[in-house]
């Protein structure tokens, strides 16, 4: 897995995880990336600074935020993720471990298209991406799996 800092054409910065650099490229070329703030599909990698630890003390959470958004407090990030979770949970069907099968069936036209979300292991996710199925990782886990 690889994490990239991304930005849209409106200047919104966000981070996302990808199975590999080629997975990012495949999704980008296919137009399957979108800004988490405004939904713009014109998304590209932002300049990133390497994370180098100089001591063994606990990392500062604010330091993990993209460098071009220093005014974002951790509570703002949590609030944004909470809003994203609510939007996904209210507008899409949770299909759990059947996600890969459901996404592939929709892509092939075997079942009607509908917004879904669920779980897939790395092998399933890579196979979907390799086959051109439009999928993207979500930065949260299902509510019922949260302590």
| Span 54-86, pLDDT tens digits | 555 555 545 554 555 555 566 677 788 888 888
**Residue 68 Rama label (left phi>0; alpha psi -120 to 50; beta):** alpha
Which of 142, 43, 83 is closest to 75 using CA atoms?
83
Contact 136, 32 (CB under 8 A): yes
DSSP 3-state of 37: coil
Cα–Cα distance between 29 and 14 in angstroms, integer?
Answer: 19
- The reported pTM is 0.49
User: How big is the chain by its Cα radius of gyration, in Å?
Assistant: 16
Q: Dihedrals φ, ψ of 75, to 5°? A: -65, -35
Residues 6+ apart with CB under 8 A from 88: 117, 138
pLDDT bracket for residue 141 (50, 70, 90): confident
When comparing pLDDT for 50 and 3, which is higher? 3
DSSP 3-state of 146: coil
43 token code pair: 């998304």
């Amino acid at each position: 897995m690889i994490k990239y800092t991304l930005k849209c054409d409106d200047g919104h910065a966000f981070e996302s995880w990808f199975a590999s650099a080629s997975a990012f490229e495949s999704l980008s070329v296919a137009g399957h990336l979108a800004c988490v703030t405004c939904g713009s599909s014109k998304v590209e990698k932002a300049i990133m600074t390497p994370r180098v630890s100089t001591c063994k003390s606990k990392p500062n959470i604010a330091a993990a935020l993209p460098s071009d958004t220093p005014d974002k407090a951790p509570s703002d990030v949590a609030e944004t993720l909470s809003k994203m979770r609510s939007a996904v949970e209210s507008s899409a069907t949770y299909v759990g471990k059947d996600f890969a099968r459901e996404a592939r069936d929709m892509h092939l036209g075997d079942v009607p298209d509908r917004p879904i979300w669920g779980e897939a292991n790395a092998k399933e996710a890579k196979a979907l991406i390799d086959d051109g199925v439009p999928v993207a990782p979500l930065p949260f886990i299902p509510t019922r799996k949260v302590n």
